[in-house]
Amino acid sequence: MAFFSKLKDRLFRSSSKLEQGLDAIVEEGGVVEELAADQPEAEPQPEPRPEPQPEPQEVPPAPAEPAPAPEPVPDPEPIPEPEPVPEPQREPVPTPAEPQREPEPGPAPQPDPELPDAPEPTQPMPQDPAPLAPPAEMPAEMPGLDMPLEIPGETLSNSPGLLGRLLGRKAARTVTRRVLDDDMLEQLEELLISADMGVDTALRVTANLAEGRFGKKVSTDEIKRLLAHEITRIMEPVAKPMPLYPKRPQVVLVVGVNGSGKTTTIGKLASQFKAAGKSVVIAAGDTFRAAAVEQLQVWGDRAGVPVLTAPEGSDPASLAFDAMTKAQEDGADLLMIDTAGRLQNRADLMEELAKIVRVIRKKDETAPHNTLLVLDATTGQNALSQVEIFKKISDVSGLVMTKLDGTAKGGVLVALADKYGLPIHAIGVGEQIDDLAPFDPADFAAALTGLES
Ligand SMILES: Nc1nc2c(ncn2[C@@H]2O[C@H](COP(=O)(O)OP(=O)(O)OP(=O)(O)O)[C@@H](O)[C@H]2O)c(=O)[nH]1
């Protein structure tokens, strides 16, 4: 699906930090080993993705018709949860027998793979352990070119040359493996912390990763797969679309600091709900900033959804009440209420949100049905303190993480999931109306670690 590959491309753009760090760690203390052309780098690891993923949906929040439920709470889970993750990675990483190959006779000098000063490979570490096709079917070099041919997922080096190939010699490949010891674990912890995963999460992830593998040799590709698996395990329980309830209107309060992407997210969500056949009303609750109201009107126009506004400086709660009345009269399915994000004066903001909730409860005592906290992924660790604050001043029921297309700080999502367990309903991957996607843990983990899934 075109949209989905676009999403993956964008997420991959932000993955370089962790990916390069992993490459560097293994290369630093690793030993280059040679493999015969028909020998895989390692026994294939169990795939991190435990189950075939459901086809990603264009509309992340929920299916068009959720199963009717008498009460909005507890969470009705309109889309079936993925199967619980088995723990296939608890198996020790198979350690290749040493030496990896028989010495190959031939005119070309071969480096000793066991020597510490064996030449480093010049290409990035292999990404995929899939064995290469036999050399007879896949030439290691382009005819006439005396340079290694990069084959996706593998590094070819020490080419036997034309004569060698004429004589039927197999090309040798190299892989760097490093013993998973305390030093390496410490480096991995530091890398994960620097990627915004937070200390607790980084320690837990590396401890799980080392379980049953301590003292064994691992390649970059194996480390990436193991890491992606651990991240997927943490993220899977929180990947949940925004639940839809039979209640009309379902009131969605949208909170978050200024600039986090609330307005944009409301516009994107409104557009997707509308495309799914829902009638939506938006209330421009940040009445203190004329620009914010105007921007929301632009998004409402784009989405084809009415936006209720009030004069600048008027009471947001009064606007919310009017919007609730209109949404009820119109029989709207959803009322999305934008709010101010001024954290400079937390007491005022707390009172403002509490008042909005009080007045809409006069109309429906079960409202708001969702309180979405919009977080800007580029703020890294700061997102954690924002969750802390907004949990105190509102009843946050789920997260939307924006700007994942423009940051190398995606690791904070792992820390958020690990620490708070709040559902991540959707992720923003751009500024356009369709740049909002469901959160897919396996794709996210692959993007973060630089694993080609
Ligand atoms: N690259 C990228 N930019 C985004 C994304 N979401 C929002 N933005 C941009 O972030 C900026 C702030 O977004 P807004 O939606 O105005 O944020 P807000 O929280 O409503 O901010 P205030 O109106 O100031 O309260 C805008 O320039 C958006 O285009 C995203 O997923 N990716």
Single out the residue of 438, 441, 416, 440 nearest to residue 428, CA to CA: 438
The number of the ligand 1 atom at minimal distance from the alpha carbon of 428 is 31
Q: Going residue by residue through the chain (453 aa), what tens digit of pLDDT does each one get?
A: 444 455 556 664 544 567 778 888 988 877 887 776 666 655 445 444 444 444 434 444 443 344 333 344 344 444 444 444 444 343 333 333 333 444 444 444 344 433 334 334 334 333 333 333 333 333 333 333 333 223 333 333 344 444 444 444 455 578 889 999 999 999 999 999 988 899 999 999 999 999 999 999 999 899 999 999 999 999 999 999 999 999 899 999 999 999 999 999 999 999 999 999 999 999 999 988 888 899 999 999 999 999 999 999 899 999 999 999 999 999 999 999 999 987 767 788 888 999 999 999 999 999 999 999 999 998 988 999 999 999 988 999 999 999 988 766 789 999 999 999 999 999 999 999 999 999 999 999 988 888 865
Peptide bond into 368 cis (omega under 30): yes
- Interface pTM, i.e. ipTM: 0.96
Element (H, E) at 33: strand 31-36
Substitution site in 352, 386, 431 for ligand 1 pocket (most atoms within 8 Å of beta carbon): 431
Q: Is 341 a pocket residue for ligand 1 (Cβ < 6 Å)?
A: yes
The CATH 3.40.50.300 domain(s) of the chain lie at 240-443
At residue 59's C-alpha, the angle toward residues 54 and 63, to 5°, is 70
Expressed in angstroms and rounded, the spacing between residue 440 Cα and the centre of ligand 1 is 22
155 known ligand binder: no
Whether the CB of 127 sits within 6 Å of ligand 1: no
CB-ligand 1 contact for 406 (6 Å cutoff): yes
Residue 258 CA, ligand 1 centroid: distance in Å? 9
Q: Where are the alpha helices (DSSP H) in 312-451?
A: 316-330, 346-363, 382-393, 411-420, 441-449
CATH H-level, domain 240-443: superfamily = P-loop containing nucleotide triphosphate hydrolases (3.40.50.300)
